[in-house]
Structure 1
């Protein structure tokens, strides 16, 4: 049973605070790309960027951004980014959050895809906050291309992960007597 004294220790948060927790909200109509980058880097990689800092680095304080603009600033932040067109089946298999390009009622928009769980898609959206949407609703906004490569994403990873991946590949290649797919003739002499 709760006593009046125990109510003092209850921390109450509003629905809006919970919805927007951890999300860098966009302050401008066109800044969803910058806010999505800040949200992804802050929450998944432990950085501390604001929307304004990202916009400043992109030199896009008065204009819309593209995947190309976002990709261009990543090395300066210690990351690499690559844009991909892919089918939903591959999107489901991703193990990291990515920025997705969406089209809502003819409006271009960027959001962070946090995951897909069965028929539910989880977004960290710079305009709407944490969003749980149906697969069909997500697909109607994400399918912006014809053919099997139906949607676009921007994957962002730290440069250090790329270097570690290359190093692991080289070590694995040496241990299997190959280097970049070619047989190492000196391996048998060791």
Structure 2
């Protein structure tokens, strides 16, 4: 059964010569130049890895995906200066030495993250909902998915059509089918976190972009990785 804060959050309303010199100047500042007799177009240069991890707090420890997921939500949705170490510090002060040892091998729990968020001054609620209600969520929420037999925390950014967009502390920005999400989602559990009485953020950097929605865009990234090996584990 979801608490009042969860219900509110779920439904509240993201040539050469001078030409070369100029191109070098723009490249130095992180911009590339496309030359045409009629116009000059400048576009920020962003690597595949930068796109993959953009607005995601990547986990730094084997067991810290939960802390990184909470930090991602607080930092990139609510706009607060929170990192993984800050969340872990709060959790370490909450638990006994025996509990910390257990978490280092088994990972954090939803209850740990909920308690940490409350300790940090946020409202937080853990609940279970049907997938049909998850689709209607207007805010990012934290989920646990089964990833290769291991429970793993992610932030669900949004569901668009048959695709679920995740901010994954291990894999970065990831898109999976809704079928896959339903199959791997553990116990239909969610964690909703909000500061005070806010129900929606106007500082969010977690909205799904038009490029991410484009299947062709994502397919090109897959092909590029297959051809160049960029972004693959060796």
Task: Provide TM-score, normalisation by structure 1.
Answer: 0.76
In the alignment, the residues of structure 2 paired with residue 8 and residue 83 of structure 1 have an alpha-carbon distance, to the nearest angstrom, of: 51
Q: In the TM superposition, what whole-angstrom CA distance separates every residue of 1:101-158 from its partner, at most 9, and x where no partner exists? A: 111222011000000001010000100000111111212211x33xxxxx11101111
In the alignment, the residues of structure 1 paired with residue 73 and residue 155 of structure 2 have an alpha-carbon distance, to the nearest angstrom, of: 7
SS at match of 2:76: helix
Structure 1 residues not aligned, in runs of 5+: 146-150, 163-190
1:99 aligns with 2:142: yes
Name which of 155, 166, 171 aligns with 1:112: 155
What is the Cα-based RMSD across aligned positions, in Å? 1.9
Kindly report which structure 2 residues correspond to 1:138-149, keeping only aligned pairs within 5 A, or say none.
138-142=181-185, 144-145=186-187
Between Structure 1 and Structure 2, whose CA radius of gyration is higher? Answer: 1
Superposition misfits of 4+ residues, deviation over 3 angstroms: none
Q: CA deviation at 1:7?
A: 4.9
1:83 aligns with 2:120: no
Name which of 145, 153, 156 aligns with 2:190: 153
More displaced 10-residue stretch of structure 1: 31-40 or 100-109? 100-109
Task: Provide TM-score, normalisation by structure 2.
Answer: 0.62
Q: Number of matched residues?
A: 156
In the alignment, the residues of structure 2 paired with residue 160 and residue 47 of structure 1 have an alpha-carbon distance, to the nearest angstrom, of: 15
Structure 2 residues not aligned, in runs of 5+: 1-14, 32-43, 200-234
